[in-house]
Amino acid sequence: MSAAFVAVYTRDIRLALRRRVEALLPVVFFVVAVSLFPVGVGPEPQTLRVIAAGVVWVCALLASMLSVANLYALDHSDGSLEQMLLSGHPPTVIAAAKAAAHWTTTGAPLVLAAPVIGLLLDMSPAALATLVAALLLGTPVLSLLGGVGAALTLGLRSAGVLLILLILPLTIPALIFGSGAVGAVDSGISASGHFSLLGALLIFTALIAPLATAVALRIALE
């Protein structure tokens, strides 16, 4: 079971490493999208500091959703997804491995890029540290939920937009607690409550989402 997880995970990482520019696109999108906000809202540091955490979170969310649309689509079109599901390994494990690989190639770079982006928005060091920790807990939730959406919309004509419409409402709790943690630190309260809730959300999603993804994959390939 864990062998299947490792095999799918390393395969996806290897594929991403062979298409480096493509793998970096979500982070580039993230950086470009965030830097649009000062241009749109105005360069005043006070304003930017207030909206910084929310802007970073929303852009990370969109970057995850845009990149997750291809999570199963490419494997589906060349037939390897069907082979994976026929291999006899539990589809839940495959779904979990795919989500983990998506987080490693997309979520982790977002977390790494966030402090630099935060500096551009004039965030304080304490707020930056909180933002990184919150993203570390929250971005796996986005990859897991995105996997469900990618499986549900597999092979559909308007899969990309549809996936965003389906999954964004479900990501709202992660957004609330993720940006709320930074807000709490900014107003001098401990963010531990937010982190606990984000952690609980991550555990809950990790238990439910791979199951739902596996079921959705089976429905899509019937």
Partner 1 sequence: MSSLRWSTFSAPSRFYALVNVLNPWLWGLAIALTLAGLYMGFFVAPVDATQGNSYRIIFIHVPAAWLSMVLYLAMAFWAAIGWMLNARMASMLARAIAPTGAVFTFLALWTGSFWGKPTWGTWWVWDARLTSELILLFLYLGYIALVSSIDDAVRGDKAGAVLALVGAVNVPIIYFSVVWWNTLHQGATISMTAAPKMAQTMLMAMLLMTLAFWAYAFAVVFTRAQALAVEREGHADWVRMVARKELQ
**Minimum distance between the CB of residue 14 and partner 1, rounded to whole angstroms?**
30
Q: Which of residues 22-61 bind partner 1 (CB under 8 A)?
A: none
The reply to whether 153 sits near partner 1 by the rule CB under 8 A is: yes
Comparing CB distances to partner 1, the nearer of 27 and 212 is 212
The reply to whether 208 sits near partner 1 by the rule CB under 8 A is: yes
Comparing CB distances to partner 1, the nearer of 125 and 155 is 155
Taking CB under 8 A as the criterion, the residue among 13, 50, 51, 166 binding partner 1 is 166
The reply to whether 220 sits near partner 1 by the rule CB under 8 A is: yes
Taking CB under 8 A as the criterion, the residue among 1, 20, 86, 157 binding partner 1 is 157
Contact indicator for 72, 143 with CB cutoff of 8 Å = no
The reply to whether 216 sits near partner 1 by the rule CB under 8 A is: yes
Residue 66 is which amino acid?
A: L
Count of all residues that appear for the chain in the document:
222
Q: Which of residues 171-190 bind partner 1 (CB under 8 A)?
A: 172-173, 176-177, 180, 183-184
Comparing CB distances to partner 1, the nearer of 41 and 207 is 207
Can you list the pairs that 145-148 forms with residues at least 24 positions away whose Cβ atoms lie under 8 Å? Answer: 145/170, 145/171, 145/205, 145/209, 146/64, 146/65, 146/68, 146/71, 146/99, 146/102, 147/68, 147/71, 147/72, 147/95, 147/98, 147/99, 147/102, 147/209, 147/210, 147/213, 148/209, 148/212, 148/213, 148/216
Taking CB under 8 A as the criterion, the residue among 148, 150, 182, 191 binding partner 1 is 148
**Minimum distance between the CB of residue 198 and partner 1, rounded to whole angstroms?**
10
| Chain positions contacting partner 1, by CB under 8 A | 148, 152-153, 156-158, 162, 165-166, 168-170, 172-173, 176-177, 180, 183-184, 197, 201, 204, 208, 212, 215-216, 219-220, 222
